[in-house]
Structure 1
């Protein structure tokens, strides 16, 4: 039994293969390589807990590889352990990144879909109500307000479409139409709020 002594790579492999003093051999790996392997994980976005998990898994993988006679000894034990922990940690980071992306997509969906639905409902109800009120203002006012708020046409184009002599005349008419609209709904606060939303969401 080797106590408080260093194992050569060959002695370490032999202990694992022959199942002789395996616990002592594993203790040697912890004492000799833990900090070295931990440092890799810590320098690559990992915590001490992450490192502990990765190193434990690394040693288990190493022992399994040795027991199955798949360790070709083309590199030293230290280098081989490093390659194992590196691969394990890269795989873990990819999993976390993938999960993070999925979570982010889910959160973004929650943040964007709900307002979009709400917006659509408000727009639909507001549009319905404002169309009824526009109709009551007369055809000319209805056309002006629809062209301006819903089709976002410039005043010059509306002037030509509706045969106004100047933009100023059109502006005066639009102002009167809006004034009439407000007078029709000023006694109903709920309706007024809905109309404001309709104008806000128009287009």
Structure 2
């Protein structure tokens, strides 16, 4: 019987940063934190499908942050993932034009690390550099990510502009596109250096 490995925060970050044992590290994150993150979405106007989509995106963004040296160890992995989930869900509610559901979120007190994460997400979506990365992807991924991140369309709105059979298929495709984007970044040292330089200038 295979032994399930537990990870400390330091071991998780090392595994993700180096790519060594990363599958087990991601599996540990799912086992340890999925229910907590899902519960946040479920108790704030979301459903199980919303939670699954957001958590998939959280994992991709978290891996990207760690591998581009943006994780500063100022917060635990648990707190960092919670904050990512919170910010991405607020962003999704914005796209659904649900002011009444999100006003309370904005007024809630924030932990210090949230400011770093929020700034990074806003910057990540705003910079021309990311558009250049989209150009390296297939037309379908480029279309989905552009509509979602730059035109701020909801998944239902994107579905109307694409040929996917239903919203779940579209969500799965978006997740694969995000993973492809992360792979492109990791395979090109030049891109990584450009991202790091741009991030330094944004501080």
**TM-score, normalised with respect to structure 2:** 0.47
Bigger relative CO (Cα 8 Å, ≥ 6 apart):
2
**TM-score, normalised with respect to structure 1:** 0.47
The structure with the larger Rg is: 1
